[in-house]
Amino acid sequence: MISTDKPTGTPARRRSHRWFIALLLAPTLVGMGIFTILPILGSLVLAFFEWDLVSAPTFNGVDNFVALGADTTIRRAFINTIGFVAIAVTLQLALAMFLAVMIQSRMPNWLRLFFRSTFFFPLVLSAASVSIFMRYMFNEQFGVVNWMLNLVGISSVPWLTTQTGAAAVVIFVFVWQNFGFSFLILIGGLASIPKELHEAAEIDGASGWRHFRNITLPLISPSMLVASVTAMITALQVFDQPYVLTRGGPGDSTRSAVMVVFEAAFQRLEFGLASATGLVLMLIIMLITWGQFRLSRRLVFYQ
């Protein structure tokens, strides 16, 4: 890094320089201090208290964390979230990978542009709005999805009223909206592979699958890592889709960890429990991120 504005010259000038730095940084740093760092510390403290906002907070040690494991609804929500992440992220990455490789094949430029824009489009929509219209489409009696299934001779599926059906819809809606992001990262990665390598592989007579397995996959692995980390972090925080589509039901079948935070704090006024849940979620996010980067040192091939 080159520094151009070294504080030189008279003391007065140096002082004005310090003011300049301080004032330019102030809005960002003070804002983050108040609205990010202070709240994290607050959460850390609050997690060990019982507080309903009305009476005085009482210290209750690790009770909130014990409750996380003991409460069947909360435990179910965490299990749901982990399962959701595993399935949704796998589907999203596989789909994005497949489409990214397909779009590299020979096709007219306008068609490539059309596909790319189409896959990108859901990213500009709100998850809440998407969930609103998807909820109608997956309606059992008059939904478009069942109508199409009936056309091909499959009888109507009770999508939102059965546990597996509801979970499948939440996964579908999430992947529908987010695969474009993984796709964007992966086409970026594919575009950076030198053409000569593909040509060399073709001259050597590598077949489609061998070519993909031995050339494309290793070279795209850094992008794959980024795509999977970002997808997992987004999926772990899933809230809008299950909230709008199912409100966590039927039963607790689609309740997510973030829904537990929301319900504990703002419906039942158990602020300590909500903070503890949020912290555990953050811990899981950090662990997964760290684990993926460690794993990547063995699996990812950097050019």
Partner 1 sequence: MVAAAAVLVPVMWTLSTSLRSPSEAFDLPPHFIPLGFDLTAYREVFVQIDITRLVLNSALVTALIAAGQMLTAAMAGYVFARMRFRGSNLLFALVLATMMVPVQVTIVPVFMLIRGMGLSDTLLALIIPAIPTAFGTFLMRQYFMSLPTDFAEAAEIDGAGPWRTFFSIYLPLSAPGMAIVGILAFNYHWNEFFRPLVLTNSEENFTLPLGLVSLQGHLGTGSISVVLAGVIISMIPALVVFLFGQRYLREGLTAGAGK
Range 24-63, binding partner 1 (CB under 8 A)? 24-25, 27-32, 34-40, 42-43, 46, 53
Nearest CB to partner 1, comparing residues 122 and 158: 122
Tokens of 109: 């430029």
Q: Does 274 bind partner 1 (CB under 8 A)?
A: yes
Q: Can you point out the beta strands (E) in the chain?
A: 49-50, 58-59
Q: Which stretch binds partner 1 (CB under 8 A): 55-63, 68-76, 79-87, 127-135?
A: 127-135
Give the dihedral sign, CA 200/186/229/175. Answer: negative
Nearest CB to partner 1, comparing residues 32 and 200: 32
Closest by Cα among 38, 2, 6, 37 to 21: 6
Nearest CB to partner 1, comparing residues 44 and 200: 44
Helix crossing, 163-191 with 127-137: angle to 10°?
A: 130
Interface with partner 1 in residues 71-100 (CB under 8 A)? 95, 99
Interface with partner 1 in residues 146-185 (CB under 8 A)? 147, 176, 181, 184-185
* Binder of partner 1 out of 62, 70, 86, 144 (CB under 8 A): 144
* Binder of partner 1 out of 80, 81, 92, 139 (CB under 8 A): 139
Rg of the chain, C-alpha, whole Å: 25
* Binder of partner 1 out of 54, 124, 152, 203 (CB under 8 A): 124
Q: Does 129 bind partner 1 (CB under 8 A)?
A: yes
Strand-pairing partners, residue 58, are: 50
Contacts 24+ apart (CB under 8 A), 187-196: 187/100, 187/103, 187/104, 187/116, 188/223, 189/100, 189/219, 189/220, 189/222, 189/223, 189/224, 190/100, 190/101, 190/104, 190/216, 190/220, 190/223, 193/219, 193/220
Interface with partner 1 in residues 192-221 (CB under 8 A)? none
Nearest CB to partner 1, comparing residues 190 and 206: 190
Q: Does 278 bind partner 1 (CB under 8 A)?
A: yes
Q: Does 265 bind partner 1 (CB under 8 A)?
A: yes
